[in-house]
Chains A and B, each alone.
Chain A
């Protein structure tokens, strides 16, 4: 069952889009673009930095295949990180009104002195907005679900908290967060400056992460 969920979350996006991530892009300016390099900083559960790449397929309906890697701030470089691969498709394509759906498979890792977590998850995100050649503004709604998670506990955890803790893969879904907010962007030459801001709430709408916001400042370089 877990393996099937991992396939759904992580492998299926390969078949559908091959690669991808919910990039913040100016769809109007993507006409002849094939490659997009992205970089940014923001608040994604913690102060985070990310790098990404997107490839636009030569299809009638605009489709981007994207990948993204992000790490949070901290003295230990790679004890926590997140990778996303997926795709983004433009479903509503009027002259200035655009609506897109993005789907990503996620692999992420977390470690502190007590536990190490590895998670396979997925993210579905919808965007609808008003786009001009020089700028855009859009609303976005997404759901990020932690489908299956592997827990591994340190000796400190076992000695001071719970000696009989069970390490291994846990299910059902260990977490899920809704995100909703806005994205704005300014486009010039072959570049976009993008800004995303919004709220995060958990799946039951009754609890929220310790910091229930997200914030991203990004830069896209578009290449033909």
Chain B
């Protein structure tokens, strides 16, 4: 290859690539802006942070606080639950601190207690009277958080719905993780969540890059033949990679156990699980339900872990019956 050819090749590259360049560190390009960057988003300021939050229904009705999964997901794929507002409930949705469209923070600031304090602050923000009933409706990690809250404050909650909690203690979480996150090293699916580490790294607080990376890894969860029976992609706004890593570190380094006081909670609680989630099933639901003195377990047919999004019509009557039984 002579010098002229190389020069021509170089100039061709200059022309070819001299289009607009986009800043990867600016929210709104690869990931949507958070409430800290876009004041038009619905939000509440509580406990030293700004949370992306919405509520539906009569403000004086019994509160149903929806707790989304993750850690590091958001509430968009749980919005079907707002139908309960038509049945006389006040549905509250919020993106947990550091994820969804809520404000980001340094990794070192996250803790389980902080998440419990946030939940207390959300309840206080929306509560209109001291006698207003409070229900927690948690999905996956959100169900774990609901258990953690009841474990810490057994007298604050009127009732709780647990949709496939990933494990109420470290041991159960590990069991669920091993069952649901099997990696075939030679498969395309595995490659899809590993190979891009050389394209995108992101420093510890470069949330735009880290959150984006996590978002494009989401295709792993609904890949064909996945053990959790997830039918396909469900919508979300933005992942919180830093808070996810913070809680992974907490779990690995300190462990956790949200079960120590659950036997004090005498109210009947509801467990629901998807028929097609091979990693959960009736047996896992029974193990988790056994921590409570009183519980019901209901299978949601023909769906998997994302039952609230994909089979809301089946979930809805079960949840409504439960809420009405305690309202």
Contacts and interface: CB of A to CB of B under 8 A. Distances in A.
A110 B19 CA distance: 21
A11 B203 contact: no
A108 B203 contact: no
B191 interface: yes
A203 interface: yes
Give the bracket for the number of chain A residues in contact with chain B.
35 or more
B309 to A, nearest CB: 10
A80 B20 CA distance: 25
Interface stretch (B21-29, B90-98, B281-289): B21-29
Given A162-B237, A164-B32, A165-B30, A207 B199 contact: no
Interface in A1-16: 1-4, 6-7, 10-11, 14-15
Contacts of A1: 21
Given A75-B187, A160-B236, A166 B6 contact: no
A14 to B, nearest CB: 5
B6 A207 contact: no
B199 A160 contact: no
Contacts of B20: 168-169
A144 B198 contact: yes
A131 B15 CA distance: 46
A72 B195 contact: yes
B305 interface: no
B29 A160 contact: no
Contact of B199 (A73, A164, A169, A175): A175
Dominant secondary structure at the A interface: mixed
Nearest to A43: B185
Interface residues of B, number: 53
B134 to A, nearest CB: 31
Contact of A166 (B22, B201, B216): B22
A188 interface: no
Contacts of B187: 73-75
A157 B199 contact: no
Contact of B195 (A46, A75, A121, A174): A46
A63 B271 CA distance: 67
B22 A2 contact: no
A174 B199 contact: yes
Interface stretch (A25-33, A54-62, A112-120, A191-199): A112-120
A146 B185 CA distance: 24
A206 interface: yes
Nearest to A118: B199
B14 A207 contact: no
Given A7-B14, A74-B186, A117-B196, A160 B233 contact: yes
B29 A170 contact: yes
A175 B17 contact: no
Contact of A207 (B19, B22, B202, B237): B202
Given A2-B18, A169-B17, A174-B200, A161 B237 contact: yes
A157 B238 CA distance: 12
Contacts of A110: 195-196, 199
A182 to B, nearest CB: 21
B219 A113 contact: yes
Contact of A117 (B15, B28, B199): B199
A204 B204 contact: yes
A149 interface: yes
Given A45-B197, A80-B195, A110-B196, A171 B10 contact: no
Given A110-B195, A115-B216, A207-B204, A6 B17 contact: yes
B308 interface: no
B204 A206 contact: yes
Contacts of B13: 3, 6-7, 10-11
7 contacts: A7-B10, A74-B186, A108-B198, A119-B199, A161-B236, A162-B215, A209-B201
Interface of A: 1-4, 6-7, 10-11, 14-15, 18, 45-47, 72-76, 79-80, 82, 108, 110, 112-115, 117, 119, 121, 144, 146, 148-149, 151, 156-157, 159-162, 164-166, 168-172, 174-177, 200, 202-204, 206-207, 209-211
Closest 9 CB pairs of A and B: A74-B188, A209-B197, A175-B201, A112-B192, A3-B14, A204-B203, A202-B201, A74-B191, A170-B24
Given A3-B14, A11-B10, A159-B235, 6 more contacts: A3-B15, A73-B191, A113-B219, A161-B215, A166-B22, A169-B20
